[in-house]
C-alpha cells in the first residue's frame, strides 16, 4: 500500500483555514504585484494566499521560539537567523507573483517583520560565460547558475550575518547588471524564488562540489504547479504581451521580436517553449515537486484549484 505524504485540500477547504486573518492588501496593491499576463483577484488572495500567509506566520513563529530556546541553552550567544522560504516552479507558472504577494502579506503582520525577496536569476552566470561554455540556450537549466555563489549567499544569510549582497539580473537586457547588488540586511524572513531551488543534482566534478544543496537552507518550500499545456499557453500569451511592451525598447535583448506578426510571435514562442522551457520543466523542475512542503495546483484560468500540504 502506498502512502501519500500530503494532506490535500480543495479550494473551499483551504479557504476556511484563513480563520480571522485580515486582508491587508487593496486592489491597487494587487495590480502592482501581479505578473504581466496574470490577473490576481481579491478572492484569490482571500481564499489562497491569506491562509498560506497564516500558515507561514505560524511556522516562522515556531521557528523563532526554537531559536530562543537554543539561545537560552547557549547563553544568548547565537545570532538571530531569518526564516527562509523557497518557491519553485516553471517559467510562466506565476511563482514570481506568488512570491511578491506573500512578501507583501507577511510584511503586514502585526509585528511588521522585515521580509526580503531574492530571485535566483541574479545567480545566473553572465551571458559572456554562458556563451563561452556554449550553454546560452540552456539558460535557466541547473548548469547555468553559479550554484556555489548562491549557496554561499544563503549560508551567510542563515548564519545571521548582518548584511549580505546578491547580484542583480535584468530581464530587459537578459543579463547580470554589472556593479549592482541587492543588499539583504537582518531580515526576519527571506523568500527565495527560482526555477530550480529544490534541485539536488550536482554538475561538474562531484569530488570538487560539496554535497550541500540550495534547499538545505530553506525552512519551508512551495512548488507552484500546473498542467504543462496550460503553462505553455500562458508562456505564449506572455510572449505576445512582451512583444508589444518590453521588447519594443531599443535596449531590450529581445528587441528583434518586437516586429513579429501575431502568427510569427505565436510560432516563435512555441518553438522556444518546446526547445528550451519544456525540456527544463520535464527534466529538472517538475521532478523536484515532490520535495516541496506545499504545492499550489493551478487550473487553466491561472487560479489555484487545490493545495497539498506535507504531513509533519
Is residue 209 predicted with pLDDT exceeding 70? Answer: no
| Rounded-to-integer distance, Cα 220 and Cα 191, Å | 10
pLDDT tens profile 43-84 = 899 999 999 999 999 999 998 888 888 888 888 766 778 999
Q: How far is CA 200 from the centre of its chain?
A: 16
Threshold 0.85, pTM exceeds: yes
pLDDT tens profile 143-162 = 999 999 999 999 999 988 98
Contact 99, 40 (CB under 8 A): no
Is residue 110 predicted with pLDDT exceeding 70? Answer: yes
pLDDT of residue 208: 46
pLDDT of residue 23: 78
Specify the DSSP class assigned to residue 83: E
Of residues 115 and 70, which shows the higher confidence score? 115
Contact 169, 175 (CB under 8 A): yes
Share of the chain above pLDDT 70, in %: 94
pLDDT of residue 77: 67
pLDDT tens profile 6-21 = 999 999 999 999 987 7
CA atoms within 13 A on the CB side of 198: 25
Question: What integer best gives the mean pLDDT of the chain?
Answer: 91
pLDDT tens profile 119-141 = 999 999 999 999 999 999 999 99
Q: What residue ranges define each of the domains in the chain, with the CATH number in brackets?
A: 6-310 (3.40.50.300)
Amino acid at each position: 500500500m502506498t502512502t501519500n505524504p500530503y494532506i490535500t485540500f480543495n479550494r473551499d477547504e483551504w479557504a476556511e483555514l484563513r480563520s480571522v486573518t485580515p486582508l491587508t492588501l487593496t486592489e491597487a496593491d494587487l495590480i502592482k504585484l501581479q505578473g504581466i499576463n496574470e490577473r490576481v483577484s481579491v478572492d484569490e488572495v482571500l481564499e489562497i494566499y491569506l491562509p498560506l500567509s497564516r500558515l507561514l506566520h505560524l511556522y516562522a513563529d515556531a521557528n523563532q521560539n526554537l531559536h530562543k530556546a537554543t539561545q537560552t541553552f547557549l547563553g544568548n550567544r547565537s545570532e538571530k537567523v531569518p526564516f527562509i522560504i523557497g518557491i519553485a516552479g516553471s517559467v510562466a507558472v506565476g511563482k514570481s507573483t506568488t512570491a511578491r504577494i506573500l512578501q507583501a502579506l507577511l510584511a503586514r503582520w502585526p509585528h511588521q517583520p522585515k521580509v526580503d525577496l531574492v530571485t535566483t536569476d541574479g545567480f545566473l552566470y553572465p551571458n559572456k560565460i554562458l556563451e563561452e561554455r556554449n550553454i546560452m540556450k540552456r539558460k535557466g537549466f541547473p548548469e547555468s547558475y553559479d550554484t556555489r555563489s548562491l549557496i554561499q549567499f544563503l549560508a551567510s544569510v542563515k548564519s545571521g550575518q548582518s548584511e549580505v549582497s546578491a547580484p542583480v539580473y535584468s530581464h530587459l537586457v537578459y543579463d547580470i547588471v554589472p556593479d549592482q547588488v541587492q543588499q539583504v540586511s537582518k531580515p526576519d524572513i527571506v523568500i527565495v524564488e527560482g526555477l530550480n531551488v529544490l534541485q539536488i543534482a550536482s554538475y561538474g566534478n562531484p569530488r570538487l562540489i560539496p554535497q550541500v544543496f540550495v534547499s538545505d537552507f530553506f525552512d519551508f518550500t512551495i512548488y507552484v504547479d500546473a498542467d504543462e499545456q496550460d503553462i505553455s499557453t500562458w508562456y505564449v500569451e506572455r510572449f505576445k504581451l512582451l512583444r508589444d511592451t518590453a521588447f519594443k525598447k531599443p535596449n531590450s535583448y529581445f528587441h528583434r521580436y518586437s516586429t513579429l506578426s501575431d502568427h510569427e510571435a505565436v510560432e516563435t514562442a512555441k518553438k522556444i517553449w518546446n526547445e528550451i522551457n519544456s525540456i527544463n520543466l520535464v527534466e529538472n523542475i517538475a521532478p523536484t515537486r515532490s520535495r516541496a512542503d506545499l504545492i499550489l495546483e493551478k487550473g487553466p484560468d491561472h487560479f489555484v484549484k487545490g493545495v497539498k500540504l506535507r504531513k509533519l
